Structure 1
Amino acid sequence: MGKIVVSANVSLDGVVEDPTGEEGLKGRAWFRPDESPDGAAWAADELREARGIGALLLGGRTYEWFAERWPSRTGEWADLLKAAPKYVVSTTLTEFPWANATLLKGDLADGVAALRREVDGDVFVFGSGRLVRSLMENDLVDELRMKVHPVVVGTGERLFGASGVNRGLRREDTRMIGDGIVLLTYRPLRDA
């Protein structure tokens, strides 16, 4: 049985939007792996994480972002993401050009429960801010991995925003990625 793992790059002030400056925060990039002193360590950690993917669960905008960039990439990391089954949560997308992608239809909780039962390995959620908030609101996240980058962005979409969720978490692990990125791993506190 798989678990739902949210893996998020986040600034110190909680911003998850557009870390590389390619979209809404043009010119305000807060993490460029190829220019960062921690970039190589971050990429190595992303590859390690990708080796554990049983499937991807993505919001529509994040799926489109990946589908534009990853099919042409090469190497083990790209191969792992290309080969992974991809489940997309969207009310607007009708075409899924990136290999192995299908629309997750119906109720989110029912769909996630089915993924947990059917997927061999963990179901990873990258990006997908609105989806992550919905998953948290419905207590569907089994593990939250926050890669906290040493920068205050000041503006942009935050991972949790004003959701009205009061969810207790237990820290499972803390470790450094390079010299500046801190990986915080949490699991939700649930009633026994």
Structure 2
Amino acid sequence: MGKIVVSQNVTLDGVVEDPSGEGGFRHGGWFQQFMGQDWEAWEELELAEAEGAEALLMGRRSDEYFGARSPLMNGEWVDRLNRLPKYVVSATLQEPKWTNATVMSGEAVSEVSKLKRQIPGEIVVYASRPLVRTLMEHDLVDELRLTVFPVVLGAGERLFGETSDKRPLRLIRTKIVGNGLAHLTYERAREA
């Protein structure tokens, strides 16, 4: 059975909105602004994660974002991501933008549940905030990997929204990435 792993860059106060600064958010661009000297260490972390993945899972906007940029980027991490099978959850998308991608147009919870049964190993979710919220609400996320950037923005879309109930997690790993980033790994706690 597959394991859904949410991998996300996030500010100290949980903001995930507009890390690149391309979205027009007044606090956008925090990813590079607060990366500091940690770029190489972050790339190593991301490459190791991609090498351990069996597939990627994302929403339509993430497919469009990464699909448009991956031909312009180079390096081992991007090469690995391009080779991985990708599954895009979308009711509106007809043709995915990224290579090796399949559109899952049915109901998200059902489609992802099937995918977990079909693919052994890690199915990694990058970005895709609305999808992550749906997966968390329906207890489909097995692990969260948060790379925390040393900044509080005070505003912006956060990774998690309201849920119908508590979602207990257990911290299983911490790692300092470079000199300023924290990488926290949580697994879903079956019992609170």
TM-score for both structures, normalised by structure 2: 0.92
Matches within 5 A, 1:12-51: 12-25=12-25, 28-32=28-32, 36-51=36-51
Counterpart for residue 161 of structure 2 = 161
User: Percent of pairs identical after alignment?
Assistant: 51
Counterpart for residue 108 of structure 2 = 108
Deviation of 1:95 (Å): 1.5
- After alignment, is 31-40 or 171-180 more displaced? 31-40
Q: Following the alignment from structure 1 to structure 2, what is the Cα–Cα distance between the partners of residues 33 and 140? A: 33
> What amino acid sits opposite 1:22 in the alignment?
E
Instruction: Note closer, same or farther for the CA distance 1:97–1:70 as it changes in structure 2 (3 Å cut).
Output: same
- After alignment, is 154-163 or 52-61 more displaced? 154-163
**Count of equivalent residues:** 192
In structure 1, list runs of 5 or more residues that go unmatched.
none
Q: Choose between structure 1 and 2: higher helix proportion.
A: 2
Contact 1:88 1:104 survives alignment (8 Å): yes
Deviation of 1:113 (Å): 2.2
- After alignment, is 13-22 or 130-139 more displaced? 13-22
Counterpart for residue 7 of structure 1 = 7
Deviation of 1:39 (Å): 1.4
Q: Secondary structure at the match of 1:134?
A: helix
In structure 2, list runs of 5 or more residues that go unmatched.
none
Deviation of 1:40 (Å): 1.4
> What amino acid sits opposite 1:188 in the alignment?
R
- After alignment, is 68-77 or 9-18 more displaced? 68-77
Query: After the TM superposition, which parts of structure 1 deviate over 6 Å for at least 4 consecutive aligned residues?
Result: none
Residues 112-137 of structure 1 show CA distances to partners (whole Å, capped at 9, x for unaligned) of 22222222421000000010000000
- After alignment, is 28-37 or 79-88 more displaced? 28-37
RMSD (CA atoms) = 2.0
Counterpart for residue 182 of structure 1 = 182
Deviation of 1:101 (Å): 0.8
Q: Secondary structure at the match of 1:55?
A: strand
Deviation of 1:74 (Å): 2.4
Instruction: Note closer, same or farther for the CA distance 1:143–1:27 as it changes in structure 2 (3 Å cut).
Output: closer
Q: Secondary structure at the match of 1:18?
A: coil
Residues 63-107 of structure 1 show CA distances to partners (whole Å, capped at 9, x for unaligned) of 110011013322221111111111111122112132111111323
Instruction: Note closer, same or farther for the CA distance 1:34–1:100 as it changes in structure 2 (3 Å cut).
Output: farther
Q: Following the alignment from structure 2 to structure 1, what is the Cα–Cα distance between the partners of residues 66 and 150? A: 25
Counterpart for residue 94 of structure 1 = 94
Q: Following the alignment from structure 1 to structure 2, what is the Cα–Cα distance between the partners of residues 97 and 61? A: 10
